[in-house]
Amino acid sequence: MPVTPNPTADPSRKSGRSLRDFWNRVTDGLKVSELWGEFKSEAKATYGFYSKDVDWEAIGREKSKFKRWLHSAWALFQALLMKLTPARRVLLLAAVVLMIVRNDNFDYSFLGAVILFLLLALELADRVTMKRDLEIASEIQKWLVPDRAPEVPGIDIAFATRPQNTVAGDYYDAFLRPSSATGEVAAPLLIAVADVAGKSVPAALLMATFQASLRALSATPASLDEIVAGLERYTRAHSLEGRRFTTAFLAEINTETRQLRYVNCGHNDPILRRAAGQIERLSTGGPPLGLPLFTEDEVPYQSGRTQLQPGDLLFIFTDGVVEAVNDKGEEYREERLLACLAAPSLNAAEVLQRVMNDVNSFVGYARQHDDITALVLRVA
């Protein structure tokens, strides 16, 4: 009786599946074109990182094109070298020398490659450790911002943030203040979007202190103006002489009358799109929080007022949205954003998703260079 061959027992097929599985794990299932786009984006960002330490003006004075190229390569190598610890600098120099040296009796290039692999392993271990710490910090940061909007009759809210790194200096919040603190019958809705100057861990730490200060002040009977004044005093005291200032937009909405009172502290002017299509910008306020003062007088912040009507859409965002850059160096800009907001039939979550998708399509494979945060409020 003939025996039916078992395809699973074929060693070549098993080997082929193993190779495919390995390739999928390595590439995360990305296509070659996607991998190439990601590599180009990372290479461009890495070049920008190291080239900041190069004196291009001095190199540009060299008349010989070959010497300019040689000096550029040497300067970039030194910029990379000085980012390492002293011991690893020696390892890298030794590896390069060994890979250049030629000897008929012994191939030193293999030893140089081994040292380079060792150096890569050391740097990768540091990166993995730091990444794990940043992921923990990111989880903590997520606890500081709401995962869902408060339920307010007649008001639809959606928000999203995308850090440039694992942690962000952007902040958003939406919560009901205690009615006992404000003395109003209905608890007012407070919304906030802020952007601490800088990126990554330093900005994230200051963002956390900003959030704690806002929440603490909002639990008191303080008015919106008094909350802003308190935030300004605290931020100025911890801004490292203005190097870590904060732009912010804070607003308080009467949940019964829909009257909105706001203060814009040097932030991107939020866009208020009326139901009929008119565009208004909420710009009343003052400078960013935490800037150094020439006198001891407090910075006077003006507050603005507007009446929200059914069908109105309020879009609050950080500069990472309109300043998102594609691989051609072009910015997203507000013209594209306004076109995305011209959709009166969409709810807050749908508008937010439309904007984020449009930013993604525009940027493509270009590396994100700033935190992106947006809050959408739609009046039913």
| Amino acid identity at 39 | F
Domain ranges of the chain: 27-139, 149-379
- Would you say 186 and 255 are in contact if contact means Cβ atoms under 8 Å apart? yes
Q: What is the CATH number of domain 149-379?
A: 3.60.40.10
pLDDT > 60? residue 343: yes
pLDDT of residue 46: 84
Name residue 231's amino acid.
Answer: L
Mean of pLDDT values over 316-329: 91
Distance CA 108, CA 97 (A): 9
Q: Are 24 and 32 in contact (CB under 8 A)?
A: no
* Separation between Cα atoms, residue 15 and residue 107, nearest integer Å: 33
Q: pLDDT (tens digit, 9 = 90+) per residue, 212-242?
A: 999 999 999 999 999 999 999 888 887 766 5
Nearest to 194 by CA among 374, 9, 377, 6: 374
Residue 43's pLDDT band (cuts 50, 70, 90): confident
| Residue in the structure block whose two tokens are 């078992």 | 6
pLDDT, mean of residues 21-49: 81
b/e sequence 274-298, b meaning 16+ C-beta within 10 Å: eeeeeeeebebbbebbbbeeeeeee
* pLDDT-above-90 percentage for the chain: 46
pLDDT attached to residue 39: 83
User: Mean pLDDT throughout 354-379?
Assistant: 91
Q: 147: pLDDT confidence band, cut at 50, 70 and 90?
A: confident
Q: What is the mean pLDDT of residues 238-259?
A: 86
| pLDDT exceeds cutoff 80 at 298 | no
Question: How do residues 305-315 score in pLDDT, each as one tens digit?
Answer: 999 999 999 99
DSSP assignment string, 211-260: HHHHHHHHTSS--HHHHHHHHHHHHHHTSTTTTT-EEEEEEEE-TTT-EE
